[in-house]
Each structure stands twice: as C-alpha cells, then as structure tokens.
Chains A and B, each alone.
Chain A
C-alpha cells in the first residue's frame, strides 16, 4: 500500500524525529516529488538536509525534494489578508501587539488554520502525484494540534467554521490523504509516549502509518556470552547497555505490534556526527520498509 499523501511525523523529544523526517522525505524523493514541511520551530529537519530556511519560499534540496517552513503565524496572516483585503490595514493590524492577544481569544484559530493548510497541501500533492512530509512538534503539542478541529466543531456548532472543521476532520480521518508516523527510541518513556499517542490517534480515527523505533544498535553478543566478560567492569557494562537497548527494541516491537501498529526499526548510527551520509543510510531502510511495493 502506498503511504498517505501527507505524513505527519511526531514523537517524544530526543527520539530523532527530525532526522527521521529528513530521511523519510529523502526516501520518498527517490521516487516522487516530495516536500518536507517543517512545523517545528527549531527547523532541525531542514538543517539536517542542508537547507537554510529564512523566507516563506521553499528551498530546493534536489530535483525532487523541496523544503519549506510552515508557521501558524503565516497562516493567520494569509487569513487576515483574505478578510481585510486592504494591505495597508491588514499589515498594520498584524504588527500591532494587541492583535496577538486578540487571536488568543479565538481559541485554536491559528492551529486550526494550520490544519486547513495541511489539507490543502495534501490535496495538491494528490493532484501532482507528490508527497508531503511534516516534521511536526513533539507528541503532546502535535496531538493538541490534531484535536483542534474537534474543538472548533464543539464551539462553533453551525456556520462556515463548522463546515471547515468537518472537512478538516474528514481529511485527518482519510488514510489515503493523512497518516501519522510515530518515532521512539528503545526506552521506557519514549515507548509509553508512543503507545499513548497511538491510542489517542486511534480514538480520533486518525491512521498511524508506522512506529519507527530509532537508534537500535546492531546485535553483537550472543545470549550468555557476556558472562565471561564480567571481570571487565566498564567494558562489560557497555556491552550490557547494547544488549539492553536491543531487548528494549524487541519489547517495543512486541507492545506496539500488539496494538496493531506497523513497526520499523532504524539502526543506531555509531558515528561522531549525523550528516548527509547517515541520513541517506536511514532513508534506504525507510524506502525498503515503507515505500517499496
């Protein structure tokens, strides 16, 4: 099965979310036109791909890969400019500090406009036979963002906003257009967060494409083999850490698969820095597991 047009990557902080977003976009771009959209203010994914984002315009990384930044602020500006077509006024309004507080009085407006934007991106991608990868914020914030449509429907029982909210909800619930990829490391807290996120997404009727268990060290030691190394203090501890990470990955796989999730393991890259070469290595794994028919 083909991945959804728009893939939304989130996970606990420190699980390599941005690196994997960059790798997944790279993998997709080997077959399709792909856009990596950075919703994370740190813009790590863009940096990893060597793109320097400053303006609103997308940056071309390769023939088939564009990187762009999405900001709730820019969506709000576009929205205001629609309503107040007089540029002079709309611009001054957006600059006024008080206006920022006004938007807070309309709960979730910025977030909602962002979801609207994702819906438009996915629609365009379907027309172009292209894909969009979103480097989303960490799990908690990301889930809040995705739940905004439901909230908006609640506070606006009728009217335009309610209709829009319905459309956004049906977009989020359409596995051909929207899907979430969760990232985790073989650690207890990251696993717990991924399991909880998957449950919350299932509740909301949103598809989870896969859970990526990142930083899994290649197996090295046989069962029982380390008993002979017990006299070697730190060397033995280091080996035990490797074994423990492997066991953690197996536990994560088991628990996530029990919840009906597709699980893909990504290797721990034992390199002094994470650069293009490493991203390309991760992209190969993702391409084989997630994209190849």
Chain B
C-alpha cells in the first residue's frame, strides 16, 4: 500500500515545512534535507529552535548562526551530495538587516539601542518568521545550493508564517506608530479613530508610567528611509515562496487534535493561493504483525497470553491512528502526496538515525488510485 516518497522533482529549489508545534517539524526538515543529499543534491537546511539532540546528530555548534557543513561520510555517496545546516537566530538576523539598511552608523546604533526595537526583535512573534524569510533570501541568493529546506517557527496557522513580512512591514510602517510619534500639528486631518487610538495610548503611557512615546518617536524617526529596502527583500522572499520551484510541505502527526489543526493549515494555504504539495505524517506506528504468528509460537503460555494482550492494546492505538490518518488524507487536494514517517521509538541521535528516517519516508497509496 506504500512506496518510497516522491517528494522533490528536478525543478524544486525550495522546500518549506509548515506545521503546528510538537509534531517533530524540525527533525523532519533535517530528514528531508538529508534525503535531498542522499539523492545527490547540495542542500542547505535552516532549522528553527532545534532540540539539542538534533544539533548533536547534525554536529552543529548551537552558537553559530551561519551554515555549517554536515559530514556525510558514507551516508550520501552521490557526487555533488552536500549538506549544510544552520540554526536561525532571529535577533542577530534582524540586527544584521538593520545594519545593512541603516543610513548611518549613528542611525544603526540608535535603532539597536531603542527600547521599542529591543522588545520588538526579542519578543514579537512575527519577527522570527520574518527573519526566517530573510535568511531564506540569503541562502537563495548565495546560490551555493540546489535545494533549500526551510523549517518554520511553530504556528497555529500557516499564514502566521507566510504573512509575517507583510505584518511586520505594516507594523514598522504603520500610521499608528507614526501617529504615536507625531506632533500635535500633524494630528489635524486624522480620523476620530486614529485620534482616539493615540489618546488611549498616550493615557495608558502616562498612567502606566511607561514613558514609551518618546521611544516610539525615536524609533519611527530612525527607521525612516529603511522601509524600501525591507519591503523589497520581503517582496522577493514572497515571490520565491509562491513560485513553482517551491514544495510546500505540512508536517503533522496522526492524532485527533492535530487533524483540526492540519485542516486550518490546508484551508488557509488554499485561501492564500498556495496549494500544499505534500503532507508528512510523523511518528507513525509500525504496521501490526499477524496475531496468528503468536498462536503458532512455541513460547511459555503465560508469555503468549501477555503478548496477545499487548497486541490487542497496540491494535487499539493503531486503530485510533488510522482514523486520524484517514481524516488527514481527506483534507488533501488531488495532487498532494500523503507521506508517512515512522516512529523510530526515540529522537534521532545520530546522522545515521536521520538518514534512516529520510530513507523510510513512504507515500501512502496515492489519492488518484483510490476508488
């Protein structure tokens, strides 16, 4: 009922892995990159918040923000096979972006020291998403790869990531922020809503003892003139993501809760004009062995009884999993590939574990073949 996963075609240049948190998305991104390397490609993979084990498996220095070569000794033998991995550091990436587009060293330092910016770059959820895009562009323009695999920050909805550049640009460029920094004369001609917004924030600022407004003013002024550079890069990243060379992969697991989450991903991608190319269902239990095998076995009766009980227990879990898998399959558009990744029973600890995971990705019976 299954065959090796098809995944990347020759024209694919970028694989983007989307999905909720806790499904093993980062591990799967690394496994997909490994698979690309095994197929003979030069692959760069960017991970977001990888578990220490995965860093160990890849041999990555967690402090390093630039791509590091992963030694493939013996795992991927094809000529041209290469794997580089890196870990996203949103704060450092944002700082670098500011440094690139700041009009002067003084403007740069003013931004980096600004309280609003420090809160923005450290805490605002969209920043990590935007910076993942920025790194994507760097890797893409660097040109030293055939394939880029992009892990994304955990999200409840696919659009959280895809929309990030627009949201952040809107924020940086928003009238609201300008409004906060604006002088009284500039307020003339604004709508009542804007004035009320400003009044609320000003009141809050005063009552609360935050004294943020002057910081906002400084922030808006120092960012002046940088938006064009930011917007241009964000626009190009969007074009790449929506281009034909991009393989959109949603990672999930076969649990009842995840089905609802996966549905919102598929629906919001569709609404954004992007179709999902593959869904990888992670941590699938192995197929159930035949119960008859136990009947025939020459083992102590007590052990046989326990093994039967164990079989029935796991069969119930397997049924639960199958119900969810079917529900996931029903979400997929016609051309999309449904891929299962086995539960290794532990997190990948070595490169060989990762390669095993990469090799064991299987397509479950294509939708077109179903009656």
A276 within 8 A of B: no
Contact present for B307 and A229 (CB under 8 Å) = yes
Which of B156, B193, B212 is A105 in contact with, Cβ under 8 Å? B212
Q: Which of A93-101, A125-133, A202-210, A252-260 contacts B (4 or more CB under 8 A)?
A: A93-101
Size band of the interface chain A makes with B: 35 or more
- Please judge, given known A-B contacts A89-B192, A101-B176, whether A161 and B208 are in contact too, CB under 8 Å: yes
Q: Which of chain B's residues have a CB closer than 8 A to the CB of A106?
A: 201, 204-205, 210, 212
Q: Which of B28-36, B144-152, B312-320, B333-341 contacts A (4 or more CB under 8 A)?
A: B312-320
Q: How far is the CB of B364 from chain A (nearest CB, A)?
A: 19
The A-contacting residues of B in range 151-187, CB under 8 angstroms, are 154, 156, 170-171, 174-177, 179-180
- Please judge, given known A-B contacts A83-B204, A96-B197, A102-B177, whether A14 and B253 are in contact too, CB under 8 Å: yes
In the bound assembly, the distance between CA atoms of A90 and B196 in angstroms comes to 8
Contact present for A189 and B257 (CB under 8 Å) = no
Which of B192, B205, B256 is A274 in contact with, Cβ under 8 Å? B256
Contact present for B286 and A228 (CB under 8 Å) = no
- Please judge, given known A-B contacts A108-B123, A155-B115, A220-B309, whether A12 and B22 are in contact too, CB under 8 Å: yes
Contact present for B212 and A92 (CB under 8 Å) = no
Contact present for A104 and B260 (CB under 8 Å) = no
Interface membership of chain A positions 180-224, coded 1 if the CB is closer than 8 angstroms to chain B and 0 otherwise = 000000001100100000000000000000000000010011000
Q: How many A-B residue pairs have CB under 8 A?
A: 177
B310 within 8 A of A: yes
Contact present for A229 and B174 (CB under 8 Å) = no
In the bound assembly, the distance between CA atoms of A12 and B51 in angstroms comes to 13
Q: Which of chain B's residues have a CB closer than 8 A to the CB of A84?
A: 196, 199-200
B207 within 8 A of A: yes
Q: Which of chain A's residues have a CB closer than 8 A to the CB of B306?
A: 220-221, 225, 239
Contact present for A156 and B208 (CB under 8 Å) = yes
Size band of the interface chain B makes with A: 35 or more
Tell me the interface secondary structure of chain A in the complex.
helix
- Please judge, given known A-B contacts A89-B193, A270-B317, A272-B320, whether A41 and B156 are in contact too, CB under 8 Å: yes
In the bound assembly, the distance between CA atoms of A97 and B350 in angstroms comes to 47
Q: How far is the CB of A9 from chain B (nearest CB, A)?
A: 15
B370 within 8 A of A: no
B124 within 8 A of A: yes
- Please judge, given known A-B contacts A13-B21, A161-B207, A241-B345, whether A93 and B303 are in contact too, CB under 8 Å: no
Contact present for B210 and A233 (CB under 8 Å) = no
Tell me the interface secondary structure of chain B in the complex.
helix
B300 within 8 A of A: yes
Q: Which of chain B's residues have a CB closer than 8 A to the CB of A90?
A: 196
Select from chain A the residue with minimum beta-carbon distance to B296.
Answer: A232
B239 within 8 A of A: no
Q: Which of chain A's residues have a CB closer than 8 A to the CB of B207?
A: 159-161
The B-contacting residues of A in range 263-277, CB under 8 angstroms, are 270-274
- Please judge, given known A-B contacts A83-B200, A108-B123, whether A156 and B174 are in contact too, CB under 8 Å: no
Q: Which of chain B's residues have a CB closer than 8 A to the CB of A13?
A: 20-23, 154
Select from chain A the residue with minimum beta-carbon distance to B255.
Answer: A14
Contact present for B212 and A83 (CB under 8 Å) = no
Which of B22, B120, B317 is A104 in contact with, Cβ under 8 Å? B120
Q: Which of chain A's residues have a CB closer than 8 A to the CB of B208?
A: 156, 159-162
B92 within 8 A of A: no
Select from chain B the residue with minimum beta-carbon distance to A244.
Answer: B345
In the bound assembly, the distance between CA atoms of A84 and B346 in angstroms comes to 54
Contact present for B176 and A102 (CB under 8 Å) = yes
Q: Which of chain B's residues have a CB closer than 8 A to the CB of A155?
A: 115, 119, 210, 212
Interface membership of chain B positions 343-369, coded 1 if the CB is closer than 8 angstroms to chain A and 0 otherwise = 001110000000000000000000000
Contact present for A188 and B53 (CB under 8 Å) = yes
- Please judge, given known A-B contacts A235-B294, A272-B323, whether A104 and B192 are in contact too, CB under 8 Å: no
Q: How far is the CB of B270 from chain A (nearest CB, A)?
A: 20
Interface membership of chain A positions 138-167, coded 1 if the CB is closer than 8 angstroms to chain B and 0 otherwise = 100000100000000001111111100000
Q: Taking beta carbons and an 8 Å cutoff, which residues of B are in contact with A? A: 20-23, 51-53, 115-116, 119-120, 123-124, 154, 156, 170-171, 174-177, 179-180, 192-194, 196-197, 199-201, 203-205, 207-210, 212, 216, 253, 255-257, 260-261, 286, 288-289, 293-294, 297, 299-300, 303, 306-307, 309-314, 316-317, 319-320, 323, 345-347
Q: Taking beta carbons and an 8 Å cutoff, which residues of A are in contact with B? A: 12-14, 18, 41-42, 44, 80, 83-84, 89-90, 92-93, 96-99, 101-102, 104-109, 138, 144, 155-162, 188-189, 192, 217, 220-221, 225-226, 228-229, 231-235, 237-239, 241-242, 244, 270-274
* 28 pairs, CB–CB < 8 Å, chain A vs chain B: A13-B23, A83-B204, A84-B200, A90-B196, A92-B196, A93-B197, A99-B197, A102-B180, A105-B177, A106-B205, A106-B210, A109-B204, A138-B22, A138-B154, A155-B210, A155-B212, A158-B209, A160-B208, A161-B208, A192-B51, A220-B310, A221-B306, A229-B299, A229-B307, A232-B294, A232-B299, A235-B294, A271-B316
